[in-house]
Structure 1
């Protein structure tokens, strides 16, 4: 094991900042959702509209984009050393899946168990042509499975108009009162099955794979290494993505009105909403990324750099947030879903983010990695010689 493999890597602060924004967005959505309990009795108020429109799905999409980018960085650095990182990356995904498995016992919405197995799909694409990568991403983003089901639903096909399995999810109600032991057991199978059905039936699995490819392609192009080199392209892309996002958001209602009603084709209008909602999430996430890059390359770089330490501890903070807040909201703990107003929970979430930012800044003055980041890297290389303390 060479020192080059285990040494702390050089950091791209823009990428770390993007990871921080992904972490912040995912966490605030979790606080809004009371870690899923909110969906037992959602309320159509302004807060609901703001979070479902501007945050839900977008922060998650950014996280998956960063995952694909991280894959490229790991594989590229290994290539520069003349090392094939494919098998070690596969093992790295096994380790991540194990971390996710443990985390999912507490919070079944854990995303690590989804990202890890899908991450294996990236390996053969490391040396694929740019045309193939973008072509596969485009096909996946088009959601051919949902389009096929929509065509069947519009034609009145019974199979296409069956309600999705994840519609029967009883988790949000269950978590209100379930004792700890029952919750842990339920999360092993029922909780995970509903989650995977949701990712499959809404096209999220294919969206994840597509954004993996986009992150890989952006990394290969050096987009985040020298964003000023792409100033004209990214501003054109910003305009195009904003137009797509607006069209998807405003077009849902008119397109749904053209479809048969629920009595004739129960799933047709829902599938239109799912399709356009997914495209809206991805395009608006792209707008966010390009706006962050625009600000970062302007006068706000020093301010945004303050978020980079949080981005370096994404894994640690992601798991820690659940370990702290799930027992606060859930019935086996404090049952705060009953007595903590949503607005108060969101302000507490903001305060907790500020605390995480301070902790991360102080942490990296002393250490090379976050705690779980170090464990993940050490397990990846199967050695404890990965530097930790500075």
Structure 2
């Protein structure tokens, strides 16, 4: 998400924390957010266009031809890589804001708790009224243990991040081991329950009203909170790694870290791709409900490979940051566009909108996502010529700073 304060620490004479002016922002953060937003959309489009429980399950055996290869491309190169990049950038924004608060001599904790509460409120509205695949609630909740890690030595942060991230992988394997020890009858029950959930999503989102969809989303919200045992450590781990990237200056002044970025581009990315391909080769398709140890081991390989691939992507984007500067306006409006993607896609695919649920081939899904993102790029450039923030960023800032910042460019700071 677009963090509230992406600039360097404020001048020591500043009496309080204020929203950062555009000229003070760390520009590469916005470029990275724009790229991450594209990856998130390419990943999520599958979950918008059909049952959520059938998304993110590897390479679907039902696709043929170009649709099969489109699905494979997303699974290998996109899924789990840009979600982790988003998480890393959230942690980076946290570190920048903490630095600004320290230099300003202000208590960071109340400010950050307001920020997290605002994100939680926005996320709850999104998860319960728009789309069950929300990540904002999880970000808001996981931001609290991130706050508890604020005093950790900076040199510890990347190692803490990797260990915590792998903790999520360990939980994944533990779940697989428990399923593998279940009786045949229990496994049949799990498979039947998974199929029942898929059928219900088809009925509600493919044929139901908005009110019925809201009831279904409320039910799915509880399930998503249970998944925090696995996804929570992965997200917190990326938060910590992102805190190091910002706190060390690796994002603000990447030219000071040539060996780091070269290693990420030429070693981490290929290594992560290799580990990912091992997992894909072992279990290309992950049938819902059949998450035994062999399946979760394949998922674990893909998840482990996703971390160095994410860092490799980050390094290449930083390397090409000047050429990719056109992504920065999208990144500055990432929260608005993330929610906008959900609104437009659910309206396109769900029955209470255009009703195209499970009607779009996989390759066309990706084309649709690219066209939508291209429109968001144009909208971002036009919007930010006149306004300082995206509309949802503006509301979030008001929640955080307890004042309405001026929206139009050239307006006096209140």
1:6-155 equivalences under 5 Å are 6=19, 8=21, 10-37=24-51, 40=54, 42=60, 43-44=62-63, 45-104=68-127, 105-143=129-167, 144-149=170-175
2:299 corresponds to 1:286: no
CA contact 1:78–1:85 (8 Å) conserved in 2: yes
- CA spacing shift, 1:326–1:212, aligned 2, 3 Å: same
CA contact 1:165–1:197 (8 Å) conserved in 2: no
Q: For residues 291 and 82 of structure 2, what CA distance do their matches in structure 1 show?
A: 30
Structure 1 residue aligned with 2:208, among 175, 178, 181?
A: 178
Q: Which string of whole-angstrom CA distances, capped at 9 and with x for unpartnered residues, describes residues 207-263 of structure 1?
A: 10100000001111100111111111221233331343134224337878xxxxx9x
Aligned to 2:392: 372
**What secondary structure does 1:364 align onto?**
helix
Q: For residues 322 and 275 of structure 1, what CA distance do their matches in structure 2 show?
A: 28
Structure 1 residue aligned with 2:253, among 226, 232, 237?
A: 226
Aligned to 1:304: 324
1:257-272 equivalences under 5 Å are 267-272=292-297
Aligned to 1:259: none
- CA spacing shift, 1:283–1:228, aligned 2, 3 Å: same
Query: Structure 1 residues 143-152 or 321-330, which shifts more?
Result: 143-152
- CA spacing shift, 1:205–1:38, aligned 2, 3 Å: closer
- CA spacing shift, 1:242–1:75, aligned 2, 3 Å: same
- CA spacing shift, 1:236–1:178, aligned 2, 3 Å: same
CA contact 2:40–2:83 (8 Å) conserved in 1: yes
2:235 corresponds to 1:212: no
Q: For residues 226 and 239 of structure 2, what CA distance do their matches in structure 1 show?
A: 20
Q: Shift in Å at residue 119 of structure 1?
A: 0.7
2:302 corresponds to 1:277: yes
CA contact 2:49–2:358 (8 Å) conserved in 1: no
Q: Shift in Å at residue 84 of structure 1?
A: 1.7
- CA spacing shift, 1:216–1:165, aligned 2, 3 Å: farther
After superposition, the CA RMSD in angstroms is 2.9
Q: Gapped runs of 5+ residues in structure 2?
A: 1-13, 410-414
Q: For residues 332 and 384 of structure 2, what CA distance do their matches in structure 1 show?
A: 9
Structure 1 residue aligned with 2:363, among 331, 343, 359?
A: 343
Structure 2 residue aligned with 1:193, among 222, 236, 251?
A: 222
Q: Which string of whole-angstrom CA distances, capped at 9 and with x for unpartnered residues, describes residues 251-287 of structure 1?
A: 337878xxxxx9xx97120121121121122221111
Q: Shift in Å at residue 366 of structure 1?
A: 1.3
Q: Gapped runs of 5+ residues in structure 1?
A: 257-261
Q: For residues 275 and 208 of structure 1, what CA distance do their matches in structure 2 show?
A: 15
TM-score scaled by length of structure 2: 0.81
Q: Shift in Å at residue 4 of structure 1?
A: 5.4
Q: Shift in Å at residue 330 of structure 1?
A: 0.6
TM-score scaled by length of structure 1: 0.86
CA contact 1:32–1:345 (8 Å) conserved in 2: yes
